[in-house]
């Protein structure tokens, strides 16, 4: 059986468009394209990834290098976005900071999604007592305000980038687990699963061929939103001094450092903040567009 058609029948989409039979991925791509905001968001994200990858070649100066003679200068031809109190070029630091944001966000989301998928699959598929126990444990994770949970973890484990990554992953994995579990449960109920089982299909096959394809879209959507959340929270933790430590050029940390000389050097506050907004906005827009494209219920809007 064609996986595309099967997956489509599960999501119940009407894929006829002027007598053309579209596979669900094609339909999703068409809807995605129509969303102009989504395009903008994706371009923003691609831009960020590009900078993260090739930042070293683009940045005019070494982000850590101090030009003490030129400290606290405003934006000029020499230093496009100005310098901080140590004379470090802000533009280079922002560029380098992009890499940190991307690494932390992608890393934490990857961990969270991986953990969430496994937990959700086990919980949803095997059901019963395992499911109840896991759901209770997830409820405990959900019972914490996110920042507080991340704070306590970083406070205990020590404030550095790696722990921020883990902390964010930990706070987000429960959401992935719940989504996956929901998806698994809804597919499990479908009658054709019973049919396939009665012909002797192994659990492994059922999971990989039927359940996983349906789980992928909500995961991607949640992961995209999660990326924006991760960037926001990494910045927040670094802002509080609980994340990246000096002299690393993470945006949140730069924002915190800017506060001391805020009044005489406002550019130090503005640009890191704008970068955060840019990144969060980009991932948000992309996530929204993906949801509109992949969620069958909203396809009619």
Partner 1 sequence: MVRYIFARLLTLIPIMLGVSMLIFGTFHLIPGDMVDIMMGDEVAGDPKAAQELRKSLNLDKPIYIQYGYWLKNALRGNLGKSFTSGKPVMEMILSRLPVNIELMIIAMVFIIFMGIPLGMLSAYKQFTFVDGLLRIVTIMGYAIPNFWLATLVVLVSSLYFQWLPVLKYIPFSEDPLRNILYLLIPGFVLATSTLSYIVRMTRSSVLDTLRQDYVRTARAKGMTEKIVLSVHVLRNSLIPVVTVLGFQIGVLIGGLVLTEHVFVLPGVGRLILLAIEQRDFMIVTGSILFLSTVFVSLNLIVDIIYAFLDPRIRY
Binding stretches for partner 1 (CB under 8 A): 37, 136-137, 139-140, 143-148, 151-153, 155-158, 228, 232, 235-236, 239-242, 255, 258-259, 262-263, 266, 269-270, 272-273, 276-277, 280-281, 284-285
* Locus of tokens 């094609």: 26
Q: Please, which residue, 49 or 281, has the CB nearer to partner 1?
A: 281
Please, what is the angle between helix 212-239 and helix 251-258, to 10°?
A: 20
Nearest distance in Å: CB 236, partner 1 = 6
Nearest one of 139, 135, 107, 125 to 231, comparing CA atoms: 107
Tokens of 109: 């989301």
Q: Please, which residue, 90 or 213, has the CB nearer to partner 1?
A: 90
Q: Please, which residue, 137 or 220, has the CB nearer to partner 1?
A: 137
Helix, coil or strand: residue 15: coil
Tokens of 127: 């059901």
Nearest distance in Å: CB 205, partner 1 = 35
Distance CA(257)–CA(271), nearest Å, equals 13
Q: Please, which residue, 37 or 39, has the CB nearer to partner 1?
A: 37
Q: Please, which residue, 92 or 163, has the CB nearer to partner 1?
A: 163
Q: Please, which residue, 51 or 255, has the CB nearer to partner 1?
A: 255
Distance CA(255)–CA(275), nearest Å, equals 11
Q: Please, which residue, 61 or 283, has the CB nearer to partner 1?
A: 283
Distance CA(44)–CA(225), nearest Å, equals 14
Q: Could you tell me if 48 and 106 are in contact, meaning their C-beta atoms sit under 8 angstroms apart?
A: no
Using the 8-state DSSP alphabet, how is residue 79 labeled?
S
Helix, coil or strand: residue 192: helix
Nearest distance in Å: CB 4, partner 1 = 29
Nearest distance in Å: CB 142, partner 1 = 8
CA distances, 33 to each of 22, 41, 172, 229, 300 (Å) = 15, 12, 29, 24, 15
Its sign, for the CA torsion 10, 14, 16, 17, is: negative
Nearest distance in Å: CB 59, partner 1 = 23
Nearest distance in Å: CB 254, partner 1 = 11
Nearest distance in Å: CB 152, partner 1 = 5
């Amino acid at each position: 059986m064609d996986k595309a058609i099967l997956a489509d029948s599960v999501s119940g989409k009407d894929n006829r468009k002027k007598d053309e039979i579209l596979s669900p991925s094609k339909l999703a791509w068409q809807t995605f394209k129509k969303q102009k905001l989504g395009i903008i968001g994706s371009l923003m994200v691609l831009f960020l990834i590009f900078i993260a990858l090739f930042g070293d070649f683009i940045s005019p100066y070494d982000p850590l290098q101090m030009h003490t003679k030129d400290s606290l200068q405003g934006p000029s031809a020499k230093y496009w976005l100005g310098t901080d109190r140590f004379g470090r070029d802000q533009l280079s630091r922002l560029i380098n900071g992009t890499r940190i944001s991307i690494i932390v966000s992608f890393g934490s989301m990857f961990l969270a999604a991986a953990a969430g998928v496994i937990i959700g699959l086990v919980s949803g598929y095997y059901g019963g007592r395992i499911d109840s126990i896991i759901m209770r444990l997830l409820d405990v994770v959900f019972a914490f305000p996110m920042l507080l949970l991340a704070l306590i973890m970083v406070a205990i484990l020590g404030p550095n980038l790696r722990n921020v990554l883990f902390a964010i992953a930990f706070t987000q994995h429960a959401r992935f687990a719940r989504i996956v579990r929901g998806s698994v449960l809804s597919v499990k109920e479908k009658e054709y699963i019973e049919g396939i089982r009665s012909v002797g299909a192994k659990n492994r096959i059922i999971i990989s061929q039927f359940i996983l394809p349906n789980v992928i879209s909500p995961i991607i959507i949640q992961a995209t939103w999660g990326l924006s959340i991760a960037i926001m929270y990494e910045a927040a933790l670094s802002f509080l001094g609980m994340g990246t430590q000096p002299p690393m050029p993470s945006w949140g940390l730069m924002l915190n450092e800017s506060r001391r000389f805020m009044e005489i050097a406002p550019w130090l506050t503005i640009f890191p903040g704008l970068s955060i907004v840019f990144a969060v906005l980009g991932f948000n827009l992309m996530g929204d567009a993906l949801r509109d494209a992949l969620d069958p219920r909203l396809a009619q809007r």
